[in-house]
Amino acid sequence: MNLPLDAAVAATSATLLNPQLAPAEVRVSTDTRSACDGDTFVALHGERFDGHDFVEEAIRRGVRMIVVDRPDVRWGGIATMVVENTLRAYLALAALARERFRGRVLAITGSAGKTTCKVFAAQLLTARYGERIAVAPANENNEIGVSKLLLSASNEAHDAIVVEMGARHYGDIAELVAIARPHVGILTNVGEAHLEIAGSRERIADMKWALFSGGALAVLNAGDAVSLARAETLPASPHWFLADEDPNADVGRFGRVTALLARSRLIDVAGGRRVFDRHVRVAIPGAHNGANLVAALAGAIELGADVAAMSEVIPALRLPPGRYESFEMPGGWRMIYDAYNASPGGMVAALDALANEEASRTIAVLSSMAELGSEAVSLHERVGAHAAGRAGVLLVGGEYADALARAARREGCSDVVSVSSNREAARWLRDNARRGDVVLLKGARKYRLEEVLAELRS
């Protein structure tokens, strides 16, 4: 999005130096590796870098203006916006870009499934908008990633923006909503993820519910207790989504609802009548991904997409990288890598999907989860107990391996192996996995379980 210079200066409360050299329009960049001639370079501060150290390189690459927060330093021969804080300025520029965007914005948050839901929504919305959809790659869901997405969108190229919102601190979602101003918000679920950061389940719910603080129409999970309890506080009736294994589940009680029953029957109810009711082919694995799919469908409907047209897209849907990826391994067994991240609900869902695999034996390699605070032990025990009924063999590692193992054994799983490293887990699998086995890798990002996969494929 190209922003008028005067509007950019006003939005950031900047002092403009060398105004005669400034571009008439501001096109923002924060990375000298991709900066183009005519860009405006914003010198952000990071945990391991300071953008001010790269200002000279940005100038050599042809940027027309720089945004800095060091009033004591002068860069000659270039227009300079001096601001109080470059990150706050970057967010203000993103908010200005959003203000000028004429299309629709769909935002997604939740304790689990938000990246998958985002990817599904972007694919489904092609039925309505074709390729005119702006969506962030990977999971760029913090204030910098969301701002980058908003600044990359344009009225010339896009009719819709699909934005994922994550939270590392209490209040993060509210801040992102103030910047992105979504028309529609999908809340996938409210679980225990980031319990350590939020401090309590109630505060987690408050964090997620902030998705609707700007007036976005709510798309809510009919299977989520928090959403069911809080829905009446919304100013407008929500659009519910439901994934149920019961082919005869009563969907009418939810009012406006889009439902996927028994992973094959798609029903859309609006105004008290079924506007769509037919069987569809869903190739993606896992009941939890059925919920992510129908959430994305409901959100896309609220952005004007036709459910019948989207039903033609469903068979070709693709999961994002790191989510239940299947790899055929030497020796005739199969590895499922689902370790991009892990929450208690996500661990349970992945184990349920593993149990439904056609396998001679199922093996779950579970590392620990992170940021669960004082409930970390009990939540790991819950996952370990669940794993006992879903996996024939359980390998456990990480800080809370003992809790996982203890609960699994208590529930009758006799084949539990503790491993101290990813290399040890890979060695055990190389020695013990056999033809027909299906192995799940699941755990927190900090444990880098992709190393197990890499070791076995090398």
What's the rounded mean pLDDT across residues 422-438?
96
* pLDDT (tens digit per residue) in 133-181: 999 887 789 999 999 999 999 999 999 999 999 988 889 999 999 999 9
CB neighbourhood size of 135 (10 A): 21
How large a percentage of the chain has pLDDT more than 70? 98
Q: What are the angstrom distances between the C-alpha of 16 and each of 20, 36, 67?
A: 10, 21, 9
Verify that 68 and 178 share a domain, yes or no: no
Q: Given this model, what pLDDT does residue 193 score?
A: 67
Sign of the torsion angle spanned by Cα atoms 225, 297, 314, 335: negative
Asked whether residue 249 is domain-assigned, the answer is: yes
* pLDDT (tens digit per residue) in 275-299: 999 999 999 988 889 999 999 999 9
CA distance 108 to 355: 28
Domain final residue pick, 37, 65, 88: 88
Domain final residue pick, 88, 120, 137: 88
Beta strands in 197-287 (DSSP E): 217-221, 239-244, 257-261, 265-270, 273-279
Helix axes 172-180, 201-209, angle to 10 degrees: 0
Range of the domain at 118: 101-316
Asked whether residue 93 is domain-assigned, the answer is: no
The closest alpha carbon to 257, from 286, 222, 226, belongs to 222
Verify that 348 and 305 share a domain, yes or no: no
CB neighbourhood size of 223 (10 A): 14
CA distance 364 to 425: 11
Q: In what order do the strands lie in the sheet with 217-221?
A: 133-135, 160-164, 104-109, 184-187, 217-221, 239-244, 257-261, 265-270, 273-279
Q: How confident is the model at residue 197 (pLDDT cuts 50, 70, 90)?
A: low
Asked whether residue 96 is domain-assigned, the answer is: no
Verify that 289 and 147 share a domain, yes or no: yes
Q: Given this model, what pLDDT does residue 180 score?
A: 98
CATH code of the domain containing 12: 3.40.1390.10
CA distance 179 to 190: 22
Helix ranges (H only) for 303-435 are 307-311, 344-355, 376-388, 401-410, 422-432
CA distance 268 to 448: 40
* pLDDT (tens digit per residue) in 198-233: 667 788 889 999 999 999 999 999 999 999 999 999
CA distance 268 to 311: 11
The closest alpha carbon to 411, from 433, 383, 438, 370, belongs to 383
CA distance 304 to 314: 17
Total domain count, the chain: 3
CB neighbourhood size of 238 (10 A): 24
